[in-house]
Structure 1
């Protein structure tokens, strides 16, 4: 199952299909330069590949591990669940209304594209470890962390590549 957000990005001369790239990396774990590892304190991650227009990351998630609400600093992307199950929460903002949070569970083999203004959080709410492949284009330079409140999104922190990760 793949979930799309926004316009498909497979036409020649446009940005690469991030979901297809994530799927290709997930289909070939024997090519990964490292085996997935697990950190009992926080999720583990390793950059698998970098190109001029995207980068690919491998992430592991023990039960209960997750991210805060965040964006990808203007990068679009996709993720593919290699093993286990992850839950993605997204937030929709409408003028004059409280933010609306929706959740979707994505199991092994599932994936999803997202646009450059996507705000979400991901969590392993299952009893099993999970592994996922993420693609961002262009490569991540910042990630903004948020708090979701009655009035909308409040910026908590902007993390910079090479400094916080």
Structure 2
């Protein structure tokens, strides 16, 4: 009789709907939201476990802060605005795909902008490039982001000379601390 493996099959990766459901559930927990320290100048974050192999980040956005143009290294993601309003900007070319080869025409002001007030949520595919900003001059925003698989790479891009081009890459070691235990409602 052939030997059978006792190793369980890996759980399927959460889909965007599952990531959004997790974000909605976690964002409804006032004790979790209260654990996020808010800074008047810099963005702050709290990394928590997500569903399956996913991870979540609770992020505080002081007025006028943003991420800059970036992707999520092939992870599928979703985010929900818990408090305040965020704006998501995406490149004007729907065929832009992440990576070191990005070099496409990009005239400032041609990006797509979506306003996301408190309670709004978005999901995105593995090849999504965006810039998320708190454009408020006075109000802090808080959001919950979920990625599957867990973030191991983020590529940064910049708008220069009328083009969007690859700038740099960051890995897990570039972020400050170990994740909190997995979130459980």
Regarding TM over 0.5, the answer is yes
Long gaps (5+) in structure 2: 1-11, 97-103, 177-185
Matched, 1:157 2:157: no
> 5+ unaligned residues in a row in structure 1: which ranges?
1-12
Distance in 2 between the 1:68 and 1:76 partners? 18
CA distance in 1, matches of 2:70, 2:79: 15
The number of equivalent residue pairs is 152
Larger radius of gyration: 2
- TM (norm. structure 2) is 0.73
Query: Following superposition of structure 1 onto structure 2, how do residues 14-163 of structure 1 map, counting pairs within 5 Å?
Result: 15-16=14-15, 17-30=18-31, 32=32, 35-93=35-93, 98-99=105-106, 100-126=110-136, 127-149=138-160, 152-163=163-174
Partner in structure 1 of residue 7 of structure 2: none
> Residues of 2 paired with 1:63 and 1:151: CA distance?
27
- Deviations along 1:71-93, whole A, 9 cap, x unmatched? 00100100000010001111132
Preserved contact between residue 55 and residue 139 of structure 1 (Cα < 8 Å): yes
- Provide the aligned C-alpha RMSD in A: 2.4
CA drift at 1:41? 3.5
| Cα separation, partners in 2 of 1:14 and 1:85, compared to 1, 3 Å | same
CA contact (8 A) 2:105 2:164 kept: no
Return the offset for 1:149.
Answer: 4.5
Q: CA deviation at 1:143?
A: 0.3
- Is the contact between residue 78 and residue 145 of structure 2 (CA under 8 Å) also seen in structure 1? yes
